[in-house]
Structure 1
């Protein structure tokens, strides 16, 4: 399967989705893995997790259009980064899809989630009362997924484990139209950052994506 969806944000930033229809061995042979990476892959076992791990890395290689070895590591907070390529990156996956966002200039964050009714049961765990107040009854499930994906994208972009979706990331009201922008603020101690988070509904999935200017 090739890239299923690709969106360019600006001249330096884009994201793409890959529908994982291949078997693990088909994806595995597309990669150049060192022993430590092979050990990480082997530790995932024979589950959907190992397909997601492979799928994000095959998609990254496809987006970078390179035959070189891609040295992809994670920092102490679990945020992925590239050692030998000049890009900031973010990974996500959900069921049959892998998602990757890359940028030459900006920290980025992306999240993809399959839209399901169960989100309503846990909304109070990541949404403040004032945020729940602007969710419409007509599109409640979709809008809750926009909120979850937006907060997850901000969390990944900022890249610190200690950030709480409920306490530290606040969203402003928005009108759901299948795609658009949500304004968000990350407030934690002395850190106050404003974000404009894009969202896109793709089939029965929701995607949230964001960039953060380092200047």
Structure 2
């Protein structure tokens, strides 16, 4: 299908979602790739990963870019040739990109029961108290997405999800919160927005705005 949804994260950032329903041949004919990207696709053993990769390029084309405008630095972080900031995520049937005037991190995750089994490895599980099982799965997925999104922005070796990234207490209905990265004797604050799309959660993190929660 075409673009599934366009979401305004803040005045400087938009999120674009593609729901993958097409056959692989559709993407191969619709997307123009530079040589290095074509080699990456050819090396992928999973067709699902190929589709996710190519759907990201469809989103780029939708907003006026191509694969030739996208490049990765030595740490694997994506960049756009015009200086705009970009973050990319793919989970099963959804691919997504977020484009912003400021550094941004994006994560899309399918809500699964497994997240509760590993929650204690990456978060303070007291933040899940007094919730139903369905709410616990959803909130834990949001918290994983918060940590993943902030890590994508900073992308520094040594950052630990449970030891260095902390979210303020929030409820799911608010669809936003604030989180901190405490690393290398420095504290950095981030605004976070999140919501659900079908059985998925998307999370966007970006540099703090003092009026964010007002």
Q: Tell me, yes or no, whether TM beats 0.5.
A: yes
Q: Which residue of 2 aligns with 1:95?
A: 92
Which consecutive unaligned segments of at least 5 residues does structure 1 have?
A: none
The aligned runs of 1:1-215 (5 Å cut-off) are: 1-63=1-63, 65-66=64-65, 70-82=68-80, 84-103=81-100, 105-127=101-123, 131-136=124-129, 137-138=131-132, 139-177=135-173, 180-212=175-207
CA contact 1:109–1:209 (8 Å) conserved in 2:
yes
Cα distance in 1 for residues equivalent to 2:179 and 2:10: 20
Report the CA distance between 1:54 and its aligned residue: 0.8
Point out the structure with the larger helix share. Answer: 2
Please tell me the root mean square deviation across aligned C-alpha atoms, in Å: 1.7
Cα distance in 2 for residues equivalent to 1:205 and 1:163: 25
CA contact 1:89–1:102 (8 Å) conserved in 2:
yes
Go from structure 1 to structure 2 and tell me whether the alpha carbon gap of 1:10 and 1:143 turns closer, same or farther (over 3 Å shift): closer
Tell me the TM-score normalized by structure 2: 0.89
Report the CA distance between 1:46 and its aligned residue: 4.1
Report the CA distance between 1:69 and its aligned residue: 5.9
Tell me the TM-score normalized by structure 1: 0.88
SS in structure 2 at match of 1:110: strand
Aligned structure 1 segments of 4 or more residues deviating by more than 3 angstroms = none
SS in structure 1 at match of 2:150: helix
Report the CA distance between 1:133 and its aligned residue: 1.0
Cα distance in 2 for residues equivalent to 1:99 and 1:142: 19
Which consecutive unaligned segments of at least 5 residues does structure 2 have?
A: 209-214
